[in-house]
Amino acid sequence: MLRYPSLRAPLDVLFLICCIVLSADVLGPEIFGNGKTKDYPLWFWAGQQVLHGGNLYPSDPRAYFEFIYPPLSAVLLAIPSYFGKIPLYTCLSLLNAAAWWIAAQLSNAMTGSGRNPEPWLAALPAIVTVTFVFDMFDLGQPNLVLLAMMMLGFWWLQLGHPWASGSMFALATAIKVFPVAVLPYLVWRRHWASAASMVVFLGIFLFVVPAPVRGFQHNVAELKTWYEGMVGSSSEQGFGQRGEQNWSWINQSIIAVTHRLTRPVNYNQDDPAKAPAYMNLVDLDFKTANLVVIGISIAIGLAFIAVMPPRSRRTPRSDAEELGILFCLMTVASPLARQYYFIWLLFPLTVLLHRAAYDTRPLARRGTWAVLAVAALLVSLSLPFFPNDLQAFGNNLIATAAIAGGLAWHMLNPPPDGKASSLFASSDAPKS
């Protein structure tokens, strides 16, 4: 169960100190310096556009978008923006702090290990992903908040509240689209009520909630422009308004790494001052490279389905491992997966750490620690003193694959004392 931080627990105090320091990184420049940079001024601008009835996007979908998120995001930002920049930035910092605590708490509660972890083990996933958390505060990105929303959605699904879970999945998708990848999983696992709730609430969040503020026709027109500019645009130069990032080393998605390996794209294109650099092993055209991406995606999807146990063999352990793989796949399936996207590895890492600590088989524990060590080494290649060329080959993508592989092994090789009692036994999925 969730609990509040305690001033009597040293690790909780450390968490609060970290949140204060990270919030100071946000508020300090705004209060005492020349103003906070990164995405924060953009969020204030978007909120002000809503408050003053301005347009969020240019009329031409092919023009450059300053704001690349759906209109609901701007409507939500407008509320604290009404009071000024400092209240907005404070609100975003508090949201990130709360999301960090909630995601860490739920991650430990949903591992299926049946154990209350020691304080050091409970805190370890948050410690090893702290660089991603720093990015959330420093950049002002919502991925940590989205992770907490998705964790809450699956927690409510476990508790037998499918409509509440679907509403949370829908809210995350309406803020930043890539969590929509959870919908096929809900359908495959026959969580019908949760899937239906997600579709219904997605319509509400995209069309109904902004309408009183933006006007129904205005909101629909902006949604259309956003869709054409963000989702419906794709070419050799890039996709979704940020062509200079799409094929560069910054992007570690399956799509980007596959294109860099299969066709001659300059992975330094995000910085015109750098000399062009290429890493392709073959020389395919854009259409053929996309077919390779589709083939790889289908293969990964089929492999995921293959390792999923049937309902009769599902256990709390296997459900946790299955969800861990799902979070890995949702992270790298996003067309744009920058460094901070990999905060979503918090839950898969927590599951693997519980297996490494509590699996009854010594060899399985040692193997799991080895997988975690490999993943940590790969992720560390993103630190500033390593060349960007290493990241161009997808160090975070490979680390995610290693974590997903470790989870898949545990799902296929449960310990002999495992019990077939699914975490989702109370969900709306019918028995097979």
Given a cut of 80, whether residue 160 has pLDDT beyond it is yes
Between CA 11 and CA 261 the distance in angstroms is: 43
Residue 418 has pLDDT above 60, yes or no: no
432, pLDDT greater than 60: no
Average pLDDT, the chain: 92
Does 99 fall in a domain? Answer: no
Q: What is the mean pLDDT of residues 331-341?
A: 93
Asked if residue 201 belongs to a domain, the reply is no
- Tens of pLDDT, residue by residue over 179-229, are 999 999 999 999 999 999 999 999 999 999 999 999 999 999 999 999 988
Q: What are φ and ψ of residue 238, in 5° steps?
A: 145, -170
Contact (CB, 8 A) for 259 and 245: no
Q: Is residue 134 part of a domain?
A: no
Domain range enclosing 363: 233-426
As a whole number, mean pLDDT of residues 368-388 equals 94
What stretches of 15-103 adopt beta strand conformation (E)?
Answer: none
Which two structure tokens, joined as six digits, stand for 129? Answer: 């992903």
pLDDT value for 417: 72
pLDDT at 2: 76
- The pLDDT-based confidence of 340 (bands split at 50, 70, 90) is very high
Is residue 349 included in any domain, yes or no?
yes
On the question of pLDDT at 426 being above 90, the answer is no
Q: What is the pLDDT of residues 26-84, one digit of tens each?
A: 999 999 999 999 999 999 999 999 999 999 999 888 888 999 999 999 999 999 999 99
* pLDDT score of 430 more than 50: no
Query: Mean per-residue pLDDT for 221-246?
Result: 79
- 331 domain-assigned: yes
Task: Let me know if 349 is exposed, middle or buried by CB neighbors in 10 A (0-12, 13-18, 19+).
Answer: buried
| Distance separating the N- and C-terminal Cα atoms of the chain | 30
Tens digits of per-residue pLDDT, 280-317?
999 999 999 999 999 999 999 999 999 999 988 999 99
| pLDDT for the residue numbered 429 | 44
What is the pLDDT confidence band of residue 324, given thresholds at 50, 70 and 90? very high
Whether the per-residue pLDDT at 420 is higher than 50: the answer is: no
pLDDT of residue 1: 59
- Cα–Cα dist 30/36, whole Å: 5
* 328, part of any domain: yes
Question: Percentage of the chain with pLDDT > 70?
Answer: 94
Q: Region 307-335: what's the mean pLDDT?
A: 95
* Cα–Cα distance, 136 to 17 (Å, whole number): 16
Task: Name residue, tokens 């409507």.
Answer: 75
Mean pLDDT, rounded, for 237-256 = 82
Question: Using CA atoms, how far apart are residues 285 and 268, in angstroms rounded to an integer?
Answer: 19
Number of Cβ atoms within 10 Å of the Cβ of 145: 22
CA distance 206 to 216: 10
Number of independent structural domains in the chain: 1
What is the pLDDT at residue 70? 94
pLDDT over 90, % of the chain: 84
In a domain, 6, yes or no: no
Residue 76 domain flag: no
88-146 pLDDT per residue, tens: 999 999 999 999 999 999 999 999 988 889 999 999 999 999 999 999 999 999 999 99
pTM: 0.93
Which pLDDT score, from 0 to 100, does residue 9 have? 93
- Please work out, in degrees rounded to the nearest 5, the angle formed at the alpha carbon of residue 377 by the alpha carbons of 375 and 380: 105
Token pair recorded at residue 228:
């054409």
pLDDT of residue 114: 85
pLDDT at 234: 67
Tell me the residue type at 82. Y
235 pLDDT more than 80: no
Mean pLDDT of 253-279: 92
